């Protein structure tokens, strides 16, 4: 990073932005295996929050890799950089007073912790979207597990690359046995109890 940079303070504060929106800005970080239902659940939560009048935005793994992170591959190093960039982007959304959801495999605990440390302690909610590898492979909505098993996708999380499940997530959502509506309702209830909404 250049030493010739100076942080420019803005006139409107994060607190003012949040007060205007009548919500507590935060990052809701969905992590889990491919096919666990991260994007589906994050979309359902965004819809539920939007219909309640909240200002929110969803950063989805596949979508972000088609723009901001289109220059990254899937090596462990590239995955780390992918999450670093998403963490910094999510931090900006929180500063804007928004509730931001991120739906990324984000396989490594260290990188998820780095993302958590970018915002205040009470502004980061880690949601482990839990479904067994068998369930995820059975769903295989994008056909990725089949390709990984055939050796067509190296370093695929859960097959050729490790997934480090959260040890103490803020929320554990079991998408292997619960439907999307039930899971989204659990999340909304949690956000109400936490005073986010």
- The tens-digit pLDDT sequence of the chain (197 residues) is 667 777 778 889 889 999 999 999 999 999 999 999 999 999 999 999 999 999 999 999 889 989 989 999 888 898 889 999 999 999 999 999 999 999 999 999 999 999 999 999 999 999 999 999 999 999 988 889 899 998 899 888 889 888 999 999 999 999 989 999 999 999 999 999 999 98
* Residues annotated as part of the active site: 106
CA distance 60 to 51: 20
Which superfamily, per CATH, for 14-193? Answer: P-loop containing nucleotide triphosphate hydrolases (3.40.50.300)
**Which pLDDT belongs to residue 165?**
95
Write phi, then psi, for 77 (nearest 5 degrees).
-65, -40
**Which pLDDT belongs to residue 37?**
94
**Which pLDDT belongs to residue 1?**
61
Written as one string, the DSSP assignment of 42-110 is HHHHHHHHHHTT--EEEEEHHHHTTTTTTT--SSHHHHHHHHHHHHHHHHHHHHTT-EEEEE-----HH
Q: Where are the domains of the chain?
A: 14-193
**Which pLDDT belongs to residue 142?**
86
CA distance 36 to 177: 11
């Amino acid at each position: 990073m250049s030493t010739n940079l100076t942080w420019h303070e803005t006139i409107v504060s994060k607190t003012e932005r949040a007060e205007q929106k009548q919500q507590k800005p935060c990052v809701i970080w969905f992590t889990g295996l491919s096919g666990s239902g991260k994007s589906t659940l994050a979309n359902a939560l965004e819809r539920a929050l939007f219909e309640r009048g909240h200002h929110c935005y969803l950063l989805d793994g596949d979508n972000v890799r088609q723009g901001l992170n289109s220059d990254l591959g899937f090596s462990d190093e590239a995955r780390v950089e992918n999450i670093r960039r998403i963490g910094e982007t999510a931090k900006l959304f929180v500063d804007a007073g928004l509730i931001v959801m991120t739906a990324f495999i984000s396989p490594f605990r260290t990188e998820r912790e780095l993302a958590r440390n970018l915002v205040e302690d009470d502004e980061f909610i880690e949601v482990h979207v839990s479904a067994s590898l068998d369930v995820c492979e059975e769903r295989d909505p994008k056909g990725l597990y089949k390709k990984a098993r055939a050796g067509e996708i190296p370093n695929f999380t859960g097959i050729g690359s490790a997934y480090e499940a959260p040890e103490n997530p803020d929320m554990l959502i079991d998408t292997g046995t619960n439907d999307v509506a039930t899971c989204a309702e659990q999340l909304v209830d949690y956000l109400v109890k936490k005073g986010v909404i």
